[in-house]
Amino acid sequence: MAVYTEVGDEELDRFIAEYDLGAVLSCKGIAEGVENTNYLLQTDQGNFILTLYEKRVSEGDLPFFLGLMEHLAGKGIPCPTPVHGRDGAALRRLCGRPAAIVTFLTGMWPRRIKTEHCAEVGRALAALHVASQDFTMTRHNALSVDSWRALLEASAGRAFEVQDGLADILYQELDHLESNWPTGLPSGICHADLFPDNVFFIGESLSGLIDFYFACNDFFAYDLATCLNAWCFERDRSFNITKARGMLSAYRSVRAFSDAELAALPVLARGSALRFLLTRLYDWLHQSEGAIVRPKDPLEYLAILQFHQGITRPGAYGLD
């Protein structure tokens, strides 16, 4: 995306003066991130990201997101650390929007996924799940199974514009998931959006996890299923079992699976596929005139969903 909110000189100066960051050397809008306005801010003291939260992020959730990043960074998870102002606050306002400064992470998100990337992601996700166990704030997952029917109803009437018969397929799947959604699995803080563009690498080593603005409490295995879907399918929509095996065994080396989690993986993977299919479908059908963000293809996630519909046991994901 392009910068959404242009920050004026005096506004920036007044904002930065609230921090002990030294003189500003540069502040450039960066063309990454879909939800918020992000500037790469360089000061005497290093590089930072200045984020202005646009309307898609609920202001009431920001203390949770910033608190979580701070908690995780304190535990050694390579995620952005909120910078506190001299008054102690990490969250303030700029140009009429909530805004925060976080530390800058080096690395680049991988455009071409290798098995080594998938293993690193599995390991990092497990470490995040473990590190957040004593984080005391909670946030309900507003995009889990209890929200999907309303989301589908908002798109069903026009789903045929994307593919004939799509609404029927989705209603059937939703019926199945609502009846078979697991309960009582190990749960805690999930990133919930750990797609490749939210993970930085230097070479094949993971250097950063970013964009915690979907983080919430849910089943750990659901978070892992989201990563399986985001990282282990090829551009031709085929499943790469080598990548999946790499991700799952790396995850397991840091946090052991319970039998119930393993058994639930196929249904969780179907659920996560439906969740992204539904939000993409909604965005696809509700594009605003002159939008600068090209919506993602919902049908990519139909292919992923249909793959998982054919799976009956987690061995199909490369686990023995």
CB-based contacts of 9, cutoff 8 Å, min separation 6:
none
- Give yes or no for a contact between 289 and 207, defined as CB atoms under 8 angstroms apart: no
Q: From CA 274, how far away is CA 216, in angstroms rounded? A: 18
Shortest Å distance, C-beta 17 to a second copy = 13
Letters for 251-290 (x = contact with a second copy by CB under 8 A, - = none) are ----------------------------------------
Q: From CA 243, how far away is CA 224, in angstroms rounded? A: 13
Burial class of residue 136 (count of CB atoms within 10 Å of its CB; 0-12, 13-18, 19+): exposed
Q: Which stretch binds a second copy (CB under 8 A): 22-30, 74-82, 174-182, 272-280?
A: 22-30
Among 24, 50, 100, 221, binds a second copy (CB under 8 A): 24
Among 17, 25, 89, 241, binds a second copy (CB under 8 A): 25
Q: How many CB atoms lie within 10 A of CB 93?
A: 12
Query: Phi then psi for 224, rounded to 5 degrees?
Result: -65, -40
- Give yes or no for a contact between 56 and 35, defined as CB atoms under 8 angstroms apart: yes
Chain centroid, CA 52 distance in Å: 18
Q: From CA 318, how far away is CA 243, in angstroms rounded? A: 9
Q: Is 1 in the site for a second copy (CB under 8 A)?
A: yes
**CB nearer to a second copy: pick between 256 and 292:** 292
Among 14, 17, 22, 31, binds a second copy (CB under 8 A): 31
Shortest Å distance, C-beta 97 to a second copy = 17
Letters for 96-115 (x = contact with a second copy by CB under 8 A, - = none) are --------x-xxx-xxx---
Q: Which stretch binds a second copy (CB under 8 A): 24-32, 76-84, 181-189, 307-315?
A: 24-32
**CB nearer to a second copy: pick between 120 and 218:** 120
Buried b or exposed e, range 103-119, using 16+ CB within 10 angstroms:
bebebebbeebebbbbb
Shortest Å distance, C-beta 3 to a second copy = 5
Shortest Å distance, C-beta 245 to a second copy = 22
Q: Is 9 in the site for a second copy (CB under 8 A)?
A: yes
CB-based contacts of 121, cutoff 8 Å, min separation 6:
194, 199, 206, 227, 231, 247, 250
Radius of gyration of the chain measured on its C-alpha atoms: 20
Letters for 154-193 (x = contact with a second copy by CB under 8 A, - = none) are ----------------------------------------
Q: Is 295 in the site for a second copy (CB under 8 A)?
A: no
Within residues 47-76, the interface with a second copy by CB under 8 A covers 47
Catalog residues that contact a second copy under the rule CB under 8 A: 1-3, 6-10, 12, 23-32, 40, 42, 47, 104, 106-108, 110-112, 200, 202-203, 292
